[in-house]
Amino acid sequence: MKVADLMTRDVRACGIQDSLNAAARIMWDHDCGCAPVVDAHGKLAGFVTDRDICMAAYTQGTPLEAIPVERVMSPKVISCARGDDLDTAHRLMRTHEIHRIPVVDPRGRPIGILSLSDIVNYWDRDHSAEQAVEIAATLSSIRHRRERA
């Protein structure tokens, strides 16, 4: 199975200079918890989540309209290609402790998002014990408690 077979294709990205309000609007309008962030050329430059927005609102005491996405986005983004195997994308999620991974074209532009939920829903059809163990290991990796800095 390839990433392209399961990824969400209708991806809405926000620009690096857009406000967090604009990013939140994308998430609200499209019922999602994240948005890829693109530069002026449409290339993936970061990733912003609903949690990033909430924490910025809490810690910065500034209206979301006044906070640029660039200030709170994750600039180091792990991505995959549409032709990658599902197992490869899943391994990236576990290794990097993420549950969503943007899918990019050869120029680095976002064309989809694959979530751990997409993988779980696909694997659930097989009811394989081995796959259940793999998912549990990934969730454990993502959800372990990190020490505060």
> What confidence tens digit (pLDDT) does each residue in 130-144 have?
666 676 666 666 665
Task: Please tell me the distance from the alpha carbon of residue 7 to that of residue 36, in angstroms, as a whole number.
Answer: 14
pLDDT at 115 over 60: yes
pLDDT in tens, 4-52: 999 999 899 999 999 999 999 999 999 999 999 999 999 999 999 999 9
pLDDT in tens, 45-91: 999 999 999 999 999 989 999 999 999 999 999 999 999 999 899 99
Domain chopping of the chain, boundaries: 3-143
User: With contact defined as beta carbons under 8 Å apart, do 82 and 4 qualify?
Assistant: yes
H helices, E strands: number in the chain: 7, 6
User: With contact defined as beta carbons under 8 Å apart, do 57 and 71 qualify?
Assistant: no
Question: Which ranges in 43-146 belong to alpha helices (H)?
Answer: 50-60, 69-72, 86-96, 116-124, 129-143
| DSSP string computed for 89-117 | HHHHHHHHT-SEEEEE-TTS-EEEEEEHH
Fold observed for domain 3-143 = CBS-domain (3.10.580)
User: With contact defined as beta carbons under 8 Å apart, do 35 and 23 qualify?
Assistant: yes
Burial status of residue 43 (CB atoms within 10 A of its CB: 0-12, 13-18, 19 or more): middle
The pLDDT assigned to 37 comes to 97
